[in-house]
Amino acid sequence: MGLDFKAVRGGMLAGMKQAARGALHIVFPPRCIACNDAVSTDFGLCGPCWRDTPFITGLACDSCGTPLPGDDAGPVLCDDCLAQDRLWARGRAALTYKDNGRKMVLALKHGDRLDLVRPMGAWLHRAAMPMLEPGMLVAPIPLHRLRLLKRRYNQSALLSCEVARLAGLTHCADLFQRPRATPSQVGKTRDERFENLRGALQVTPRRRDLLAGRHVLIVDDVMTSGATFAAASQAARAAGAAKVSVLALARVAKDA
Ligand SMILES: [Zn+2]
Ligand SMILES: [Zn+2]
């Protein structure tokens, strides 16, 4: 009876990997991504932080993802989306931008917390489920190159890449470009926000063929008025996209 060396070696390797992971957890025990308390699994929140994080899991506006009261089965729209024509078909958000939701978005954006991308990607993927279709193209809202130089990474691109990976869809990090730097949206009214971003995004010319006739899922970290998504949707539609849907990590809700 000969030994199956391949199987033995495979088993030993698996054992060593497990031991290595075990050792890693002794040196670096998995931590809650929000409060740093020890947790039993990687890439997660502890119980109290999970409860304090405003995930949007119930009824949500089919166009902007804002949480809505009630438990209607069919697609519903919030008052904002009823009052204006959105330039995209459907939208979702994983979190409300408040409390721990806001804290974690800011940690990703300004705190170099790239470890957050993986769990956030999973939350986004779950929120996007109702909109996902085979053949969709996933693309982030870009930063202007000067801001990208300063921040070194585009948090929206990291998130959209992770969503595309989890959904098994094509990702295009440079589908959109921002030809000019736009003044900050902070402190502007809703109308000023839309005006500020009018024409601010374009489809990258060499990506037009990839986009033509496709359903595009545009991903951003935060949705406030929807002006950024509107500018990207406008650009995508003008360049021949068949359909546009939008996905935000966090939605700034009116009562937030
Ligand atoms: Zn925690
Ligand atoms: Zn809405």
Q: How confident is the model at residue 23, as a pLDDT?
A: 59
- What spacing in Å lies between the alpha carbon of 34 and ligand 2's midpoint? 28
Q: How confident is the model at residue 5, as a pLDDT?
A: 56
Q: Which helix (H) or strand (E) holds 251?
A: strand 243-251
Ligand nearest to the CA of 103: 1
- d(CA 17, CA 9) in angstroms, rounded, equals 12
- What spacing in Å lies between the alpha carbon of 133 and ligand 2's midpoint? 21
- Map residue 45 onto helix, strand or coil: coil
- d(CA 11, CA 103) in angstroms, rounded, equals 43
Q: How confident is the model at residue 72, as a pLDDT?
A: 75
Q: How confident is the model at residue 11, as a pLDDT?
A: 62
- What spacing in Å lies between the alpha carbon of 127 and ligand 2's midpoint? 15
Among all chains, which residue has been given the structure tokens 């020890």?
38
- What spacing in Å lies between the alpha carbon of 254 and ligand 1's midpoint? 26
User: How many Cα atoms within 13 Å fall on the side-chain side of residue 128?
Assistant: 32
- What spacing in Å lies between the alpha carbon of 36 and ligand 1's midpoint? 6
Count of C-beta atoms within a 10 Å radius of residue 21: 10
- What spacing in Å lies between the alpha carbon of 18 and ligand 2's midpoint? 46
- d(CA 85, CA 20) in angstroms, rounded, equals 54
Ligand nearest to the CA of 35: 1
Q: How confident is the model at residue 126, as a pLDDT?
A: 95
- What spacing in Å lies between the alpha carbon of 218 and ligand 2's midpoint? 16
- Map residue 47 onto helix, strand or coil: helix
Query: How far, CA to CA in Å, does 58 sit from each of 52, 62, 150, 169?
Result: 16, 12, 38, 25
- d(CA 142, CA 219) in angstroms, rounded, equals 10
The length of the chain, given as a count of residues: 256
Q: How confident is the model at residue 1, as a pLDDT?
A: 43
Q: How confident is the model at residue 256, as a pLDDT?
A: 43
Residues lying with their CB under 5 A of ligand 2, a single-atom ion: 61, 63-64, 66, 78, 81
- What spacing in Å lies between the alpha carbon of 31 and ligand 1's midpoint? 8
| Beta-sheet strand order (sheet of 215-223) | 90-96, 243-251, 215-223, 137-140, 170-171
Domains and CATH numbers, the chain: 8-52 (no CATH), 55-251 (3.40.50.2020)
Helix axis angle for 117-128 and 155-167, nearest 10°, is: 60
pTM of the model: 0.86
pLDDT tens track, the chain, 256 positions: 445 555 556 566 666 666 666 655 556 678 898 888 888 776 689 988 988 899 999 899 999 999 998 887 778 999 999 998 899 999 999 999 999 999 999 999 888 889 899 999 999 999 999 999 999 999 999 988 888 888 888 999 999 999 999 999 999 999 999 988 888 888 888 889 888 888 899 999 999 999 999 999 999 999 999 999 999 999 999 999 999 999 999 999 875 4
- What spacing in Å lies between the alpha carbon of 97 and ligand 2's midpoint? 15
Q: How confident is the model at residue 18, as a pLDDT?
A: 67
Picking from 42, 20, 17, the residue whose alpha carbon sits closest to that of residue 29 is 42
- What spacing in Å lies between the alpha carbon of 35 and ligand 1's midpoint? 4
Q: How confident is the model at residue 124, as a pLDDT?
A: 97
- What spacing in Å lies between the alpha carbon of 47 and ligand 1's midpoint? 7
Q: How confident is the model at residue 7, as a pLDDT?
A: 56
